[in-house]
Each structure stands twice: as C-alpha cells, then as structure tokens.
Amino acid sequence: MKKSILAVLVVLLAAGSVFATGQADDGASGNVTLRMSWWGGDSRHTPTLNALEAYTAAHPEVKIEGEYGGWDGYYQKLVTQVAGGTAADIIQIDQPWLSELSSKGEVFVEIDASMVDLSQFDAKFLENYCTYNGKLMGLPTGTNVNTFAVDTKMLADYGIDPDTVWTWDNIVSEGKKINAQNPDCYFSGATPDILRFWFEMYMAQVAGAVVDNDGKVAFTEAQGTEAFEYFQSWFDEGIIAPFSQTSLFFQKFQENPSWITGEMATTWTWVSSMNKDIGNRPNFETRQLPVMDGAANSGVLMRPSQIMVIHSRSKHKAEAADVMKYLFTDTEALEILGLARGIPSAEIGRSVLASKGAISVMAETATNEGIAQAGLPQSVYQMNSEVMQVMQDIIDEFGFGKLTPAEASRKLIANLESTIANL
C-alpha cells in the first residue's frame, strides 16, 4: 500500500517536472507558435487579433497567441518576463523602454532591411527614437505628438475666443475667465502628472531641457523659480483645480468626474490617447501648444506611439520578423488594423488608410500641427523613471503649497543632481 502511494507520488512529481518545462518545442513538426504581447483597450485588441487571425489563415503552419491587457502593470510584467527569459516573441513597448531595457543587455533583435522594407519609414524618425547605440531595435507603430485639446463650446460660453492661438500669457489672462464666472469650473483639467508635462515643456523652452543629454540639470535656479512662479499663477487665477481635488486622478485625469461632466475646458495630451481622454464630450478640437518667442526647444514631444520589437531569446526570430512585416506593410493587415495604434508611421500605412478615408480630420490635423512644432527628444536621463518621480514629488509639494517657487526650484535641482548621481 505504502509502496503504491510512493509510486503515485513519484509519478506525479515526475509529471510535474515535465509540465514545468513548458510546452515542448513544436518546431520539428513544421508548426510554429509565436506569442505577441501588447497593451491597449478593446479598440486595439479586436483589430490586432483579427489581423493575427488573417495572417495565420494565410500561414497555417504558424500559430500566434496574443497576450494583451491594459496599460497598468504591463511594463512590470514585461521586465519580469525579460529577466526570466519568458517574454513574448513580438513585443509592443513604449519608446522610453527601448533604451532602458537595451542598456541592461541584449534584449531585442536588431531589425534590418531584409526583414521589413525600411524605406517605408522616415529615416530620421527611426534614428531618433528606435535605435540603441546606432542599431535599429524596433519599428514605430505610429507617430505620436503632444496636442492641446480644447472644448470650443465651453470656451465660447465663458467669453473666450475658441480660435485663440495660445501663448503662456493668454492661458492665464483668458483662461481665468472660466473660474471667475463659475468657481466649480476650470480652464485646464490638469492633474499633478499633467502639470509635470507642462512644467517640462516650459523648462524646455526656457532652458532647452530639464535634464540634458549629459545628465546635467539644464536650468538655473532663477529659471526654475521663474517657471514655478508662472505655474503659481495657474493656481492663483483658477486656471487649474487645486491638487486636493485632482491628485486622486493621477495618470487618469480623464476619469475625474469634473472632467467628464464638462467642468474643465482643455487638456494637454498625446494624440494617441486623445479619443480616450475626450470620451463622450462633444465640441472638441485641437490647437497648438504655447511656444515662447525664440525658444531653443519647443518641448512639444513627438515619438513613436509604440515600438514593436522582437525578443532576442525568441526561438522563431525569422517567423516573428515575417509577422512584423505583415503588420507594418501588408495592405490587408493595415486595413484591418486601421487606427488601432494611431496614424501609421509607415508610408504605405498612411496611404492605405487615407484612401479608405479612415483617418479622422481631427487626428490628422493634431498630428500635422504637432509635428510642425515638435521639439527635441527628451534625454534618456529626463525620461528615467526615478528622475520623473523626483520632478513629480516636487511638483506635488509645490502644488499643495508646501514649497514656494524659489524653494521648489532649489529643491528640484538638488534632488535631481543627487538622483542622477546615483543612477
């Protein structure tokens, strides 16, 4: 009896260790299973799954498993998977991760012209945003730029010309009309994280950057004080709501009931997330962001919506590259995908969608106007998650009134320097 129990246990354990090694490599039988991971909403999941299905229909020897979900936790999961060698074959990443992950080792496969027709992409764009140490590591899905989305009707209702060309000054002088007439309403929907983007843009125009490409703080204490004094006027004049009302919607300003119900008129945003941010609110148009006269760098950010990469530990790199080629340059795939990842970066993608009239006027205008005023890419240092956290912490303390503009500037410089020294 005991022996039989022992036997059963041994068998179970042995079986367990077989399962633990994962599914057996099915390459021998001519069948290939690829995994592709991305984040997004249903408007991205459904077309992506449909495109993958269309690909497998034409290539019955290939099976593609989609691993998809929301943005929250995607990066954490990805890094853990990369560390454990279990990341998907084809991975959608955010642009800053390209250098962050590549700096830790060879994580992605270098892309060359034999895999995908690279002439479809703007060479400068690839070089600026998709390379690491001069090697092309991924392909940009779309071109994403900052834009300024405004509720034209709400502005007009409060006596503000909806066609205003925005400057830093008239944001205050015009914007204050809203809160002055209705204390529940504000010109801007900015949450603490969005104010950080505004601050970074302002600093870029004043001093070129917050942190430059050499890892040095690019602005002087006086310049920082000037910037914080400017944003102090946003609080004083009711341009933005107090942080005590908005901090709960950190990184989710579009979930703020005040925003949803139309008590806030404008927002800084990315074109790729514009539709999600505007939600069901009517009467939205996009405008260019304010740029100072003679600014060296507009601070208006442009970068790939996302980047598609191939995992260096993929067992089927050639097959993965073929799927990439299909998704980026095949007419059928481009039609199915539509605007799931914004306006495509690849020339053929844009022409396919344009011929079908699939690109909305608003998205096209916002993208073109954004590209027209786009500034320099932010430095790797400025995009570092710890550096961003330092900026955010100071913005929070400043916004909650714990720091004066001068104190905020001094503390920001000190904290940035000590953090960068420890990176």
Partner 1 sequence: MKSNTKYNYAGYLYILPWIIGFLLLQLVPLINSLWYSFTDFQLLGSPNFTGLANFKKIFSGDQTFIKSLNVTFIYVLIAVPLKIAFALFIAVILNQKIKGINLFRTLYYIPSILGGSVAVSVLWKYLFMNQGVVNNTLAVVGLPAIDWLGDPRYALGTVSMVTVWQFGSSMLLFLAGLKQIPVSLYEAARIDGAGRARIFWKITIPELSPIVLFNLIMQMINAFQDFTSAYVITQGGPLKSTYLYGLMLYDQGFKFFKMGYASALSWILFVIIMFFTSLTFRSSQSWVHYGDSK
Q: Tell which one of 68, 125, 235, 250 touches partner 1 (CB under 8 A).
A: 250
Of 79 and 118, which has the nearer Cβ to partner 1?
Answer: 79
Residue 255 beta carbon to partner 1: minimum distance, rounded to whole angstroms: 9
As given in the structure block, the two tokens for residue 288 are 């260019």
- β-pair type (139-140, 186-188): unpaired
401-420 positions binding partner 1, by CB under 8 A: 402
Q: Tell which one of 295, 396, 409, 412 touches partner 1 (CB under 8 A).
A: 396
Q: Which of 205, 204, 198 is nearest to 235 (CA)?
A: 198
**What single DSSP character describes residue 108?**
B
Stretch that binds partner 1, among 33-41, 98-106, 136-144, 323-331 (CB under 8 A): 98-106
Q: Tell which one of 52, 64, 93, 101 touches partner 1 (CB under 8 A).
A: 101
Q: Tell which one of 36, 51, 64, 82 touches partner 1 (CB under 8 A).
A: 82
212 to each of 203, 205, 216, how far by Cα in Å? Answer: 11, 13, 6
* Residues facing residue 34 across a β-bridge: 64
Of 80 and 181, which has the nearer Cβ to partner 1?
Answer: 80
Stretch that binds partner 1, among 5-13, 129-137, 169-177, 359-367 (CB under 8 A): 5-13
Distance CA 246, CA 253 (A): 8
Distance CA 71, CA 96 (A): 15
* Residues facing residue 285 across a β-bridge: 150
- The most distant pair of C-alpha atoms in the chain lies apart, rounded to whole Å, by 89
Using the rule CB under 8 A, is 11 a contact of partner 1?
no
* Residues facing residue 309 across a β-bridge: 91
User: From the CB of residue 140, how many other CB atoms can be counted at a distance below 10 Å?
Assistant: 26
Q: Tell which one of 76, 114, 133, 280 touches partner 1 (CB under 8 A).
A: 76
- Residue 109 near residue 310, CB atoms below 8 Å: yes
- Residue 310 near residue 317, CB atoms below 8 Å: yes
Q: Tell which one of 56, 120, 258, 312 touches partner 1 (CB under 8 A).
A: 258
3-state helix, strand, coil in the chain (%, to 5): 50, 15, 35
Using the rule CB under 8 A, is 113 a contact of partner 1?
no
How many positions of this chain bind partner 1 (CB under 8 A)? 34
Using the rule CB under 8 A, is 280 a contact of partner 1?
no
Using the rule CB under 8 A, is 181 a contact of partner 1?
no
411 to each of 215, 274, 301, 335, how far by Cα in Å? Answer: 17, 33, 25, 51
Q: Tell which one of 132, 199, 231, 243 touches partner 1 (CB under 8 A).
A: 243
Q: Which chain residues interact with partner 1 by CB under 8 A? A: 2, 5-6, 9, 13, 76, 79-80, 82-83, 101, 104-105, 107, 192, 242-248, 250-251, 257-258, 385-386, 389, 393, 396-397, 400, 402
